[in-house]
Structure 1
Amino acid sequence: MNWRLVFVLFAVFAVGTNALIMAGIVPAIATGLNTSEAIAGLGLTVFALTYAVVGPTLPIILSRFGRRTIMAGGLILFIGGTVLSGLAPDVSIFMLSRVIVGVAAAAIPPQAAAIAIAISPPGREGRALGLLSAGILLSIALGVPLGSLLGIWLGYSGAFLFLASLGIVGLIGLFFIPPTPKPAKATIAEQFAPFRRPAVLVLGLCAFLFAWCQYSITTFFAPLVKDSAGISDVEVPILLVIYGLTGVVAALFGGRLIDRFSGYAVAIGGFIAITITTPLFSVASSFLIAAIVVVVWSLAQNVTFPAAQVEMGRLHPANPATAFALFAALVQAGGAIGAAVSAGVLEALGPRWIAPVAAVATLIGTIVISLLARRLRRQNEAQSILVEATVDEAS
C-alpha cells in the first residue's frame, strides 16, 4: 500500500463521519439552537440534497485545476463549514453551514478516488479504492456511537470541532501527495459526454439500486431487527458496529479480488449475494442469527461498491473524478428514495416487509449489471476479431 493514501483516508473518513455523526447529536443540536429535533434533523437532508445536486457538475466546473488543488480547496471549505456548524448561533446559520459542508463533501471523495488511482501501481486500483471504501465504512461503524460519545464529552460544538481537526490532518497530508496529472483539456460538451454513454448510465443505475437497498435497511435497521430478532436497544448499535467493521475488512481485502478478477465479476457476485441475504433480515430470529446475516450482508455490499466504482472510472479515464461524482450523486439519490419507499412500507405493511422489498432493487441491479458485462465482453471480442483481421490483411 502507498503510505500516502493514509492522508487521503483521513479526509474521506472525516467527510463520511460528518454526515453520520449528526444522528448521535441531533437532540443536543436542537437544545443548543433552541429548536425542535425535527428541524435540527433537517441538517442531514440539507447536506444530502446539496451533495446530490452539485456533485455531478463539480469535477466538470473545476476540471482546469489539479486534483490536489481541488481536494485542498474542498478540505478548506469542509473545515470552515464544520467549524461553522459547531459555532452557529441560530438555525439559519446552521443550515447554511450544512450547505457549505455538502458542497465540500461532494468535491472531496471523487478527487480522493482519482488521486488514489493515480498514485497506485498499475493493476492495484481495486486495492486503493478498497482502502478508501474502508475509510467510509469505518465512519459508518464509528459515526453514530462516536457522535453520541463526543456529544456527551464535548457537546455538539466540540464534536464538530473534532471533525474539523480530522480535516486539517487530511489537508496537511496533501503536501505529501505527489502532483497528479490534470484531467485532459476538454470542452464542456466533452466533459458531459460520459453522462450520455449507455455503459456509464447503466453503471450509475446499478449504483442507484445498490444504495436503494442499502439505505432501505440501514435507515430502518432498528425497527427491522427488533421486530424479527426481538433484540434490545443496546444490541442494535452493537450490530451496526459489526456491520461497519466487517465492511472495513471486506473493502480492504475485496480490492485484491477486484485486481485479480474484473470489477464486473466481483460486482455481479456481490449483487447476487446481497439479493439472497437481504430478505434474511426479516427472518433472523435471534441476535446471533442477525449478527451472521449482518456479517454476510456487509461483506457482499462492501466488495460490490468499490468494484462498480473501479469500472465506472475506467469508462472515463480522461477525468475519472467526473464519473465518480456521478456515481456518488446517484448513490445519494438512490439512498434517499430507498429510505422514503421503506418508510412507506413500514407504515403500510410493517417492518418485516422492508427487507424483501429492498431485495427487489438489488435483484434488478444483478440483472442490469450482468447484461452490461455481457454486452461489453461481446464488444471487446468483436474489436479483437477486427484487429486480428486487419493485421492479417496487412501481412
Structure 2
Amino acid sequence: MPLVLYALALAAFAIATTEFVVVGMLPTLAGELSVSVPTAGYLVTGYAAGVAIGGPLLALAARRLPPRTTLIGLMTLFCAGHLVMAAAPDFTVLLVARLVTASAHGAFFGTGTVVAGAAVPAARRGRAIALMFTGLSVATVIGVPGGTLLGQQLSWRAPFAAVAVLSAAAGLALYRLLPRERPAPAAGTGAGAPRSAPGALALALATTVLGWGAIFVPYTFISPYLQRVSGFGAGTVTALLLLFGVASAAGGLLGGRAGDRHPTGALPVALVALAAVLALVGAGGGSRPLMVVLLVCWGVAGFALVPTLQSRVVAIAGPASTLAATLNIAAFNIGITAGSALGGALVNAGRLRAAPAVAAAVVLAAVIPAVLSGRAGRRPRRPRPAARRASLGVHAARRR
C-alpha cells in the first residue's frame, strides 16, 4: 500500500484519540475548570455536533482547493486548535477550540477518504479506506487509554498537547508524501457530484445512521452490561475492551477486502451478520465464555461496516466528491449520538439487558436502504440532452 495511507492512518489515530479521550477526564476537567460534570459533557456532545455540522460546511468552503492543500490545512488547523486547548484559560475557550477541531475532523475524513481511494486502483479502494480507518481502531486500543492515563498522571492539558504533536507529525508526513496537483472540481459539479445520484446517496447516508448508530445502543453502556449481565469484574472488563479493540481493527481490514470483492453485497451481509451477533449477545450475555466469543464477533462485524459504508458513498457520489464523503462522516456521528441516546433511554428505564436486541432490530432496518442504495448506485443514469446529442453525433460520424 502507498505510504500516504499510513500518514492518513496516523492522522486518523490522532483525531480518534482526541474525540474519545475527554470521556475519561470529564470529572477532572470539571473540577479544574470550575464547571459541573454535565456542563463538561458538552465537550463530548459538542464535538459530535461540530463534526456533523461544521465538517460539511468546512468541506464546502474548501471545495475548490486541491485535496493536498485541504488535508495539510486541516491538520494545521487541528494542531493549532489542540495547542489552544492545551493552554486554555477557561472552559469557554476549551469548548470553542474543540468545536473548531471537530469541524476539521469531519472535513478531514471526507477528503482523506477520497484521497485514499484515489491512491490505489479502483479494485483496492475498500482496502485503502480500511487502512486509513484502522487509525480509529488503534486509537481505541492505545490512544484513548494512553491519553486518559497521561491526563490522570500529569494534567488534563497533556493529552491535548500530545495530540497536537501527533497532528503536526501527520501533517508533515502528508506534506512530504502527497503529490502536488491541480485544484479539485467544486463539490456539486461534474460526474462525481453528490447530486448525480441523490436518491442513492440519501439511502447510503440513512444506512450509515441506522447501521453504525445501532452499535452504540449497547456499546455506550458496554461496561455496566459486562458487569451486571455477564458478571465480569471491573479489571476483566478492561481486558475485554482491549480485545474488542483488536477485533475491531481486524474487522475494518476484512470489511475493506470484502467491499472490494463484493461491492454491492458486502454491506448488506455485514449488517445481517452484525444483527445476528447483537441478537446472540442479548440472548446469551449471561454466559461469560460465550460473551467473550461474541464480543470478538461484535468487534469484527461492527467495524467491517466502516470501510463498506464509506466505500458505498464514494462509489455512488464519485471519487471527486469530498462533500458526499464528509456528509457520511457526519452521518456516522449522528448515528453515534442517536444510538447513545436510545441506549441511555433503555438504561434509565431499567432495560439494560434489552439494549443488544433493540440494536439488532435497528441494524436489520438498515439492510433495506443498504440494498436499495446498492441497486440505485448500479442503475445507469440517463445522459443529459447535450451529452446525448454529442453521443449521437459521434455515432453518426462513425456510421459515415
TM-score by length of 1: 0.90
Would you say the 8 A contact 2:277–2:294 is kept in 1? yes
* Matched residue type, 2:324: A
Partner of 2:226: 225
CA deviation vs aligned residue, 1:282-337 (integer Å, no higher than 9, x gap):
33224432221111111112222211211210212253311111111111112111
CA distance in 1, matches of 2:377, 2:194: 18
Partner of 1:295: 296
Instruction: Quote the offset at 1:188 in angstroms.
Output: 7.6
Partner of 1:35: 35
* Matched residue type, 1:260: R
Would you say the 8 A contact 1:13–1:136 is kept in 2? yes
Instruction: Quote the offset at 1:56 in angstroms.
Output: 2.4
Distance 1:169 1:287, change over 3 A: farther
Return 187-196 or 351-360, whichever deviates more: 187-196
Instruction: Quote the offset at 1:180 in angstroms.
Output: 4.8
SS of 2:229's equivalent in the other structure is helix
CA distance in 2, matches of 1:314, 1:294: 31
SS of 1:68's equivalent in the other structure is helix
SS of 1:315's equivalent in the other structure is helix
* Matched residue type, 1:152: Q
SS of 1:65's equivalent in the other structure is coil
CA deviation vs aligned residue, 1:18-59 (integer Å, no higher than 9, x gap):
111112222222222122222222211111111111222332
Return 144-153 or 155-164, whichever deviates more: 144-153
Partner of 2:327: 326
Partner of 1:362: 363
Instruction: Quote the offset at 1:212 in angstroms.
Output: 1.7
Partner of 1:11: 11
Q: Does 1:135 align with 2:135?
A: yes
Return 270-279 or 301-310, whichever deviates more: 301-310
Instruction: Quote the offset at 1:139 in angstroms.
Output: 1.4
Would you say the 8 A contact 1:60–1:188 is kept in 2? no
CA distance in 2, matches of 1:51, 1:195: 24
Distance 1:229 1:90, change over 3 A: same
* Matched residue type, 2:71: M
Partner of 1:179: 180
Return 366-375 or 318-327, whichever deviates more: 366-375
CA distance in 1, matches of 2:4, 2:191: 32
Would you say the 8 A contact 1:273–1:297 is kept in 2? no
Would you say the 8 A contact 2:118–2:319 is kept in 1? no
Q: Does 1:257 align with 2:258?
A: yes
* Matched residue type, 2:5: L
Instruction: Quote the offset at 1:368 in angstroms.
Output: 2.4
Partner of 1:118: 118
Q: Does 1:151 align with 2:117?
A: no
Q: How many residues align?
A: 387
CA distance in 1, matches of 2:244, 2:130: 16
CA distance in 1, matches of 2:236, 2:195: 45
Distance 1:381 1:313, change over 3 A: closer
CA distance in 1, matches of 2:183, 2:30: 43
Partner of 1:96: 96
Partner of 1:313: 314
Would you say the 8 A contact 2:194–2:324 is kept in 1? no
CA distance in 1, matches of 2:182, 2:214: 36
Partner of 1:107: 107
SS of 2:34's equivalent in the other structure is coil
1:139-288 matches, cutoff 5 A: 139-174=139-174, 175-180=176-181, 182-185=183-186, 193-194=194-195, 197-262=198-263, 264-282=264-282, 283-288=284-289
Q: Does 1:69 align with 2:69?
A: yes
Partner of 1:335: 336
Would you say the 8 A contact 2:75–2:104 is kept in 1? yes
Would you say the 8 A contact 1:250–1:303 is kept in 2? yes
Instruction: Quote the offset at 1:380 in angstroms.
Output: 5.2
Instruction: Quote the offset at 1:194 in angstroms.
Output: 2.7
CA distance in 2, matches of 1:351, 1:266: 31
Distance 1:190 1:320, change over 3 A: closer
CA distance in 2, matches of 1:187, 1:250: 33
Distance 1:375 1:116, change over 3 A: closer
CA distance in 1, matches of 2:316, 2:362: 24
* Matched residue type, 1:55: G
Instruction: Quote the offset at 1:273 in angstroms.
Output: 0.6
